[in-house]
Structure 1
Amino acid sequence: MGILNLLVLVLVMSFIHGSQSTILTITNHCPFTIWPAILTGSGPAASSTGFELAPQASTDVTAQPSWSGRVWARTKCSNSGQFSCKTGDCGSNQISCNGKGGAPPATLIEYTLAGSENKDFYDVSLVDGFNLPVKVVPSGNGCPSTSCPVDINAACPNDLALMDGGAKIGCKSACLAFGTPQLCCSGAFATPDVCKPSNYSQIFKSKCPQAYSYAYDDKSSTFTCPNGGNYQITFCP
């Protein structure tokens, strides 16, 4: 098949499916620099895997239809010999994560674009813990926003806290901190009928009721929007 015919076929199939690329506008309202990161789980790779973002700055990331992935922010990063961060580090030794995920605890924004019924599915997840507040606002009319807008670090129990110089810079999930099947919803606890919210996950849920607080928190934490819109992701909203 010639290149021209192939391009026409791709355009026709995109029109039939009705899906469009999505722009994720990532904004930093924190009073310090952050390093957003993007991991593609499936579908074509997003246009960036990580970058530096100064206070009040914004950067656009483009994701294609059928993209599934996550966005998070790294904090307290330095480049003394090799690049590394104290929260959310992806272990690439570079500002770009290059396909590597972030080390918990980190606040996650998760997406599946143009999924079932050509809808986008998105959520804020604290299943891997928390490092920064965030808010997600879709551009589509009537599409719900979701957020974890408060600083959970301040209320984090000491046995979950990630410390740096005497300051709490992250809050681990109970699964990460203790690793038991009951807290991780694994083994004999790997179904929603058996794995229930813990006292620890309820701390997260009380602060951020829209966010995933543990593995089976779907009903109150997953949101949908017809594909074709864009999303504003604001850290420290």
Structure 2
Amino acid sequence: MAPATPPMLQLMFFLVFSQYFVSGTNTNGGTNTTTFTLQNNCAYTIWPATLSGAGSPQLPKSGFELKPNGSISLDVSEPWSGRFWARTVCSVDNSSSASGGRFRCGTGDCGSGRIECNGSGGAPPATLVELTLDGYGGLDFYDISLVDGFNLPISIDVQGSKSCKSVSCAVDLNALCPAELSVVSDYKSVVGCKSGCDAFNEPRYCCTGAYSSPATCNPTSYSNFFKKACPQAYSYAFDDSTSTFTCPAALNYLITFCP
């Protein structure tokens, strides 16, 4: 969920997490289909992206443009695990004209050089939505993660089941981000807020080395900044108890950017 750095370690944790849950009981026999609807309520164009976990089929699109008020629906057969995020401040670099220009983004870039990410994850900082469908015990698991930092607000609404909780990080943390965590665009505006791990690459912020267990890796002032603003979201690697949500096999999920 780069070199052997904390973001890559986080992706490794995500893939292990996904593989564990997908290997659980599949009560639906792999025949049900879930629809993800992605809605852009931001005042600007974004480029959402998807990454499937280990053993899960790829979604019909791994990256696409979504203009203000635009939406797109993607179907996937269960069981499935993966993540969604949005890339922002994107453009085509025409300096590499031999290949028709390289697609680049200021936040969440997946490094493919194209709008499609083709199996690559997003570079921090990026707000993540992580889901496992029909996982352990036949349940869906879902969360919003700020472990890789923040680039825009996101919400998850479960459709088809009244018993499942909606989750959101609706605050624009870019406007509140400490200077030492801020990612600034060419136009001098803050477009992303790094995690303490990404900003400082120290074990106590990354839950690595001597801090690699829940007993030794505790919240820091930076993870507390994220948690105070978005109490339902993951703020650091071991923030499970208040940040993972379950649902009995929902039919559809609405993921809204800038809710």
TM-score by structure 1 length? 0.92
Structure-2 residue corresponding to 1:144: 165
CA contact (8 A) 2:27 2:138 kept: no
CA contact (8 A) 1:45 1:67 kept: no
Structure-1 residue corresponding to 2:192: 170
Gaps of 5+ in 2: 1-25, 94-100
Q: Distance in 2 between matches of 1:147 and 1:47?
A: 25
Q: Distance in 1 between matches of 2:156 and 2:258?
A: 11
The one-letter code matched in structure 2 to 1:89 is: D
Structure-2 residue corresponding to 1:187: 209
| Structure 1 SS opposite 2:174 | helix
Choose from 28, 32, 38 the match for 1:26: 38
| Structure 2 SS opposite 1:17 | coil
CA contact (8 A) 2:146 2:226 kept: yes
CA contact (8 A) 1:19 1:228 kept: no
Q: Distance in 2 between matches of 1:16 and 1:188?
A: 41
Choose from 116, 134, 137 the match for 1:96: 116
CA contact (8 A) 1:46 1:64 kept: no
Q: Distance in 1 between matches of 2:163 and 2:254?
A: 15
Q: Distance in 1 between matches of 2:129 and 2:43?
A: 21
Gaps of 5+ in 1: 1-13
| Structure 2 SS opposite 1:96 | coil
CA contact (8 A) 2:30 2:78 kept: no
Q: Distance in 1 between matches of 2:28 and 2:198?
A: 44
CA contact (8 A) 2:158 2:250 kept: no
Structure-2 residue corresponding to 1:11: none
**Cα distance, 1:17 vs structure 2:** 2.8
Structure-2 residue corresponding to 1:113: 133
TM-score by structure 2 length? 0.84
CA change 1:16–1:221 in 2 (3 A) is closer
The number of aligned residues is 224
Choose from 126, 134, 151 the match for 2:154: 134
**Cα distance, 1:228 vs structure 2:** 4.0
Listed one character per residue, the Cα deviations across residues 119-178 of structure 1 (whole Å, up to 9, x for unaligned) are 110000000000000110001221001110010011100000001121110000000000
Q: Distance in 2 between matches of 1:15 and 1:120?
A: 11
Structure-2 residue corresponding to 1:85: 105
Q: Does 1:208 align with 2:208?
A: no
Q: Does 1:56 align with 2:69?
A: yes
Structure-2 residue corresponding to 1:6: none
The 4+ residue runs of structure 1 with deviation greater than 4 A are none
Q: Distance in 2 between matches of 1:76 and 1:107?
A: 15
**Cα distance, 1:227 vs structure 2:** 1.4
The one-letter code matched in structure 2 to 1:56 is: N
CA RMSD of aligned residues (A): 1.3
Percent identity, aligned pairs only?
54
| Structure 2 SS opposite 1:159 | helix
* Structure ID, larger Rg: 1
CA contact (8 A) 1:19 1:227 kept: no
Listed one character per residue, the Cα deviations across residues 9-60 of structure 1 (whole Å, up to 9, x for unaligned) are xxxxx88637522111000000000000000112111121010001001001
CA contact (8 A) 2:30 2:77 kept: no
| Structure 2 SS opposite 1:111 | strand
CA change 1:16–1:83 in 2 (3 A) is closer
Q: Does 1:39 align with 2:51?
A: yes
Q: Distance in 2 between matches of 1:228 and 1:151?
A: 28
The one-letter code matched in structure 1 to 2:132 is: T
**Cα distance, 1:64 vs structure 2:** 2.0
